[in-house]
């Protein structure tokens, strides 16, 4: 099995997960592939609902600089960490959902900067990615409490800030993230807890400029209940849309911006994203 097929397999099996981790793995696989065009086609199909994957592949097809792109992602991650960590203050309770490498890197940066805070995280069924977040933060010495998903109100009630990741952003400023995210954002708004989305701006989906709808991924029902009784249907949506009205700001390498301003900045900075469609 060559590196492209291996990477596709690991993405589909969730051995590689998280939009940015998937994008990075795809860049490395593409750079080592002999047939670049075929590699792009295979990698794009690994997660058709991930705009960051499509965007980095477009960049590679247009500019061919895999090393430069990886360097940019590293530099941008540091910018996002620096910007996001300023939103964390001493004594804060930070609420997050699922696992976002961007969010955890921001929290680790804030902790290394000497800020003392604690984190509440919901477990995120059916794959419990919240446990990944909890383990990562606990390893750094950050106090963390994990809540079952249905206890999110308790996790949020005394929080000072809600910070989550992102899988896609549409031209309307709608953020797509792990299922439960909009529900918890609504709870946060009820308790006047500001909601921040931490993400790289390449998670913006340029196809939505042209009327395409972001596909909300559904996974196998057996992940929720392997053998449900006859007559019981299973819903296993992986992501959901978050109304931009619920979002205080999007934290990216472009700064902290309202969703509508974020879209305008992406159009200005990444013109190649919407060219030649």
Given the residues 98, 149, 166, 205, select the one marked as catalytic: 98
DSSP the chain: --HHHHHHHHHHTTSS-SHHHHHHHHHHHHHH-S-HHHHHHHHHHH-TT-HHHHHHHHHHHHH--HHHHHHHHHHHHHHHHHHHHTT--TT-EEEEES--HHHHHHHHHHHHTT---EEEEE--TTTTHHHHHHHHHHHTT--EEEE-GGGHHHHHHT-SEEEE--SEE-TT--EEEETTHHHHHHHHHHTT--EEEE--GGGB-GGGGGTPPPP--B--GGGT-SSPPTT-----B-EEEE-GGG-SEEEETTEEE-HHHHHHHHHHH-GGGGS--
Catalytic (active site) residue 166: no
Catalytic (active site) residue 167: yes
Given the residues 76, 149, 166, 167, select the one marked as catalytic: 167
Q: Which residues are catalytic?
A: 98, 167
């Amino acid at each position: 099995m060559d590196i492209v097929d291996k990477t596709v397999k690991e993405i589909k099996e969730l051995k590689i997960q998280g939009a940015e981790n998937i994008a990075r793995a795809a860049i490395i696989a593409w750079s080592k592939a002999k047939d670049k065009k075929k590699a792009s086609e295979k990698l794009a199909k690994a997660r058709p609902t991930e705009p960051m994957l499509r965007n980095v592949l477009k960049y590679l097809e247009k500019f061919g600089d895999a090393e430069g792109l990886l360097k940019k992602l590293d530099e941008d991650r540091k910018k996002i960490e620096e910007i996001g960590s300023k939103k964390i203050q001493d004594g804060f309770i930070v609420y997050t959902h699922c696992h976002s490498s961007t969010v955890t890197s921001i929290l680790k940066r804030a902790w290394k900067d000497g800020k003392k805070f604690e984190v509440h995280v919901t477990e995120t069924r059916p794959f419990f990615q919240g446990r990944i977040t909890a383990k990562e933060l606990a390893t750094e010495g950050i106090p963390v409490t994990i809540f079952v998903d249905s206890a999110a109100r308790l996790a949020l009630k005394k929080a000072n800030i809600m910070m989550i990741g992102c899988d896609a952003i549409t031209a309307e400023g709608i953020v797509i993230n792990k299922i439960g995210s909009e529900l918890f954002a609504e709870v946060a708004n009820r308790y006047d807890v500001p909601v921040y989305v931490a993400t790289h701006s390449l998670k913006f989906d340029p196809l939505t400029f042209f009327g395409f709808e972001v596909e909300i991924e559904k996974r196998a029902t057996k992940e929720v209940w392997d053998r449900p009784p006859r007559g019981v249907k299973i819903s296993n949506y992986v992501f959901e849309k978050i109304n931009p009205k619920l979002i205080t700001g999007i934290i990216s390498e472009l700064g902290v911006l309202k969703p509508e301003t974020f879209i305008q900045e992406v159009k200005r900075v990444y013109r190649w994203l919407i060219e030649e469609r």
